Every structure is written in structure tokens, then in C-alpha cells.
Amino acid sequence: MKILSLLALFLLVSCLPDKGDLVYSLDGKPAVSPVEVEAVSFATIQTEILTKCTDCHRWAKTEEGIRKKLVPGNAEASKLFRSVESGFMPEDAPPLTTKELELLRGYINSLVAAP
């Protein structure tokens, strides 16, 4: 009987969702687990950030367009993020604030690659 209850306990524990696992990206570097990233919507990114880009970049007008400039789930590897984090963009305008950068990072890191 003791064995049975141990088995039941084991089964229960192995069914619990584990939240702490790291998700690894294709290049082998650990990416932040999606559960730890606060999801940011495209609408937020659009009003807070992309309006500063659309005068010069048509691709910044749509979600599809910016997808071509980023690596889903990996802000650091994304052209879109790097261009603003470095201060290279927006051209001829003040760099993005830390808060804006964090929003963009949150948005990109919460994206999942298309299957």
C-alpha cells in the first residue's frame, strides 16, 4: 500500500506544470521563458514606438512588416530592437526612452516563431 501512495505522489508531482524551465533558441543561447515575459500587444508598440518610424519606414506600419525586421522571442538578435537600443534609430530624433525599449523588448520576446 505504501508503494501505491508513493507512486500516486510521484505521478501527481510529475503532472504539475513547471514554470521555471528555460527555453532555448536555435542558436543554443537561453532565451527568456515566455511565461516570465510580460506580453506587450502590437497596438501598444504601434502607438508608443512605431509612430516615430512610419514617416520614413513603410514596413513599420504593419505587424507583418515589422516581423521581417525581428527574430520572434529574441529581442537582442532583432534588427528592429538593435537599431533603437544603439540609438542609431529613430534618425534625426531623440533616442527611445528606457521604458519604450523595455516595451519593445517585451513585445519581441513574447512572440513565437511561426510554425
Rule CB under 6 A: which residues touch ligand HEC?
49, 52-53, 55-57, 69, 79-80, 83-84, 89-93
- Of 33 and 57, the one with the shorter C-beta distance to ligand HEC is 57
Helix (H) or strand (E) holding 23: strand 23-24
- Of 57 and 61, the one with the shorter C-beta distance to ligand HEC is 57
The percent helix, strand, coil of the chain (3-state, each to 5) is 50, 5, 45
Q: CB 78 → ligand HEC: shortest distance, Å?
A: 9
Q: CB 11 → ligand HEC: shortest distance, Å?
A: 49
Cell of 103: 516595451
Q: CB 22 → ligand HEC: shortest distance, Å?
A: 28
Q: CB 111 → ligand HEC: shortest distance, Å?
A: 16
- Chain residue whose CB lies nearest ligand HEC: 53
Place of cell 520614413: 56
Helix (H, G, I), strand (E, B) or coil at 33: coil
Is-contact 64 50, C-beta < 8 A? no
